[in-house]
Each structure stands twice: as structure tokens, then as C-alpha cells.
Amino acid sequence: MKIVDKRVVYDGFYKLYKVKLETDGTILEREIFDTGQAVAALVFDTVRQRYIFVEQYRLATNTDVLEIVAGMHDKPSESLEDATRREIEEETGYTVDKITSIASYYSSPGAFAEKLTIFYAEVSKKASEGGGLADEHEDIKIVEVAPADLENLTIEDGKTLIAIQWALLHKQQ
């Protein structure tokens, strides 16, 4: 397959592209939803021995969702690790002591262009209250979870499921 045409048909908070593909002399039309590159982190407070999750309203579910810290890697000069550190401080108030890569993947590559990189981050000091940025209209609640309760959480978010499974497999408890 070869992309022969790609154009933006919607350019808002996210982008939607109309794409023409050529395969064996046939032209196919498809759409790609592009949210950009994202980062996420399973955060563990080494002093309090608690995982730090966030809960916030998510439009697609029309409800609050319990998940790991996440955000966009939208500053080209910033490394994935630095973007993750920034998101952790914005959302939870913690500064990162140690960061380790867990996985990098496309959640649904048939239609979505977002690539997500997940990290495990250890923290021990709060620099601020967290809760998100007012200018981004974030209203984030911090949820602390004991390691023993990790596998009993009800989670509907894919990146969070991946991070929890990683923690359980690596006994980050």
C-alpha cells in the first residue's frame, strides 16, 4: 500500500485526515484521527508506599475515569521523559526521582495515529498541589492506592491496565 493523498478535513483540538491509499491499482479512501504523541506514567510514592492515580472527566465516556497520569508530548524540544515529568508535576504535584520506560504502542493503529509511551515513575516529594492546569480546564483528583489493592481496582482505561499489569509482573509493590 502507498499513500497517494493525505489532507486535513478537520483541524480542531485534534486533527482528522482523509487519506487515499493505492493498493494493486485500486484507490481506497480512509480516515486517520490524529491526537499527536502522548505520554503516561504509573506513579509510585516511595515514602508513603502508595500508587498515585488520577481521576478526571473524560468526554468520550461522559464520566470520571480512574487512570494513570497522562498528557500530550506537544513540545518538540522536550524528551518523552521530560514531558512525563512535567505531566506528573502538573497533575499530582510530585517531582520525579526515577523514571523507567514500560512500553510504547499505538492503541488502535487502524484509525488512530496516537503513539503512547508509558513510564513507571518513583516520587517522594510534592512540589505543588497538583490537580492539573487551570488554563487547560483540568479538574483532576488524586487517588492513592495501596500496593495490595492494585489488582482489585476497576479499570476501563487501556494504558492504565497495561501499567498495572506491568507493576504486578515486576512486583513494583
Identify the sign of the CA torsion 103, 107, 108, 114: negative
Q: How many CB atoms lie within 10 A of CB 44?
A: 23
134: annotated binding-site residue? no
Catalytically annotated residue among 22, 31, 136, 156? 136
- 89 is an active site residue: no
Residue 67 amino acid letter: E
Distance CA 129, CA 150 (A): 24
- In tens digits, what is the pLDDT along the chain, a chain of 173 residues? 899 999 999 999 889 999 999 999 999 999 999 988 999 999 999 999 999 999 999 888 999 999 999 999 988 899 999 999 999 999 999 999 999 999 999 988 888 889 999 999 999 999 887 766 666 667 789 999 999 999 999 999 999 999 999 999 987 44
Q: Order of strands, edge to edge, in the sheet holding 26-34?
A: 2-11, 15-23, 26-34
What's the pTM?
Answer: 0.88
Q: State the Cα angle at 104 between 166 and 56, rounded to 5°.
A: 70
78: annotated binding-site residue? no
138: annotated binding-site residue? yes
55: annotated binding-site residue? no
